[in-house]
């Protein structure tokens, strides 16, 4: 597939900057559909400003812990969380600072590519309670024709969705949930799939639009 000309890319970037929207929050409704209606203790890794953690709190009977390595964004998450919502936000390095489980639910959205992949997935697996659910929405490096086709379609849809979500108006500022530091992923989807299946038997890796993939895994019952 031919590369997009630089002039076109600059125009797309300018439009997207004027009409930003959160690709991560776009997947929150889908993510919630992968979880039980009610569950106990939950952990959101790379919680950012806490949007997903607050949604999880609406279903949790055991409280939600949100962790992120950025102290400023954890402060913002606390500010945005109404009193009484059962969420505890903690500054922690998810690579080795994941609080001890067991958890009935663990979620990780657009953060796994910042961490040691295999070691972190293993840690998630080991901290899940029997029958617990792990849901990852991740980012992978574009590699094959399927990635290129999904990427091209995502570029077009990104323009449409950005326009609709902003109702055609230029955004004054970027959404809070989009302010975290980001970096490009190094692993391809094929590498993600291979390693995930090795760590999580019967996991379901899938590629999606907007440069995302998902992993859904349920721990065996004891």
Residues 27-36 have pLDDT tens digits of 899 999 999 9
Residue 205, strand partner residues: 215
* pLDDT at 5 > cutoff 60: no
pLDDT for 197 equals 96
* pLDDT at 179 > cutoff 80: no
**Global pTM value:** 0.78
Q: Which CATH architecture has domain 39-222?
A: 3-Layer(aba) Sandwich (3.40)
Tell me the range of 83-87, 141-145, 157-161 where mean pLDDT is highest.
Answer: 83-87
Secondary structure tally for the chain: helices H, strands E: 8, 7
DSSP 172: S
151: nearest Cα among 212, 211, 213, 214: 211
Q: Is the separation of the CB atoms in 28 and 110 below 8 Å? A: no
pLDDT tens-place string over residues 12-45: 444 344 434 366 787 899 999 999 999 999 999 9
Q: CA-CA distance, 66 to 77, in Å (whole number)?
A: 9
């Amino acid at each position: 597939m031919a590369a997009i000309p630089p002039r076109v890319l600059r125009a797309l970037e300018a439009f997207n900057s004027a009409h930003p929207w959160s690709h991560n929050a776009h997947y929150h409704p889908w993510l919630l559909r992968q979880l039980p209606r009610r569950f106990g203790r939950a952990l959101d890794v790379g919680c950012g400003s806490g949007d997903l953690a607050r949604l999880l709190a609406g279903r949790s009977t055991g409280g939600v812990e949100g962790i992120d390595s950025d102290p400023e964004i954890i402060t913002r998450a606390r500010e945005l969380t109404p009193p009484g919502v059962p969420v505890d936000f903690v500054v922690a390095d998810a690579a080795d600072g994941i609080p001890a489980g067991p958890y009935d639910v663990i979620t990780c959205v657009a953060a796994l590519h910042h961490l040691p992949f295999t070691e972190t997935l293993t840690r998630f697996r080991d901290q899940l309670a029997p029958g617990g659910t792990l849901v990852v929405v991740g980012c992978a490096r574009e590699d094959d024709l399927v990635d290129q086709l999904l990427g091209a379609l995502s570029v077009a849809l990104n323009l449409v969705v950005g326009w609709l979500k902003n109702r055609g108006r230029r955004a004054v500022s970027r959404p809070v949930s989009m302010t975290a530091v980001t970096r490009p992923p190094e692993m391809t989807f094929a590498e993600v799939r291979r390693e995930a299946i090795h760590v999580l038997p019967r996991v379901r890796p899938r590629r999606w639009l907007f440069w995302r993939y998902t992993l859904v895994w349920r721990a065996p019952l004891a």
